[in-house]
Amino acid sequence: MSDPVSWSGRRWLNHHLALLRLGDWLMVLLGLLLVVWLMQHFWLTAPADHVVVRQGGHVFCQSTLLTDRDIRVPGPLGVTQIQIRHHRVRVVSDPGPRQLCVREGWISRAGEAAICLPNQVSVEIIGLQRDYDSLSY
């Protein structure tokens, strides 16, 4: 960088690109692919529209995510409490022993689900178009 006038942008770029070896290019490319995949997976999926609550294989209720609501679903073990707040859903309490669906926390994206197996309750978010049916699958 002895002569700043001749140190043009193109030379600067070439100088730095020359630092990359084959494996470096490969890693940079793989990294870019990962970033693009993450972006389209988390940012370009269908927006969440409404939630379907099932009990014992039957649809217990369907609700939009646009309004806050509390849903109480009776099952064989007791009542599972579901909460809709700010376009997100969670299972607040469940009589099941392992609390897996409660620990799932807030879910907000199409295709996400919280399943309380012992009490036979499931909460699934459905987008405008359905990517895959995670429950029937």
Is-contact 127 45, C-beta < 8 A? yes
**Phi, psi torsion values for 104, nearest 5 degrees:** -60, -30
When binding is defined by CB under 8 A, the residue of 72, 98, 103, 130 that contacts another protein is 103
Q: How many helices (H) and strands (E) are present in the chain, helices listed first? A: 3, 7
When binding is defined by CB under 8 A, the residue of 8, 12, 14, 28 that contacts another protein is 28
Per rule CB under 8 A, is residue 42 in the interface with another protein? yes
DSSP 28: H
DSSP 46: P
**What is the bridge-based pairing of β-strands 113-116 and 121-127?**
antiparallel
Measured from the CB atom, the residue of 23 and 97 that comes closer to another protein is 23
Per rule CB under 8 A, is residue 20 in the interface with another protein? yes
Measured from the CB atom, the residue of 31 and 74 that comes closer to another protein is 31
Per rule CB under 8 A, is residue 88 in the interface with another protein? yes
Residues that bind another protein (CB under 8 A): 16, 19-28, 30-32, 34-35, 38-39, 41-43, 88, 90, 103, 105-106, 108-109
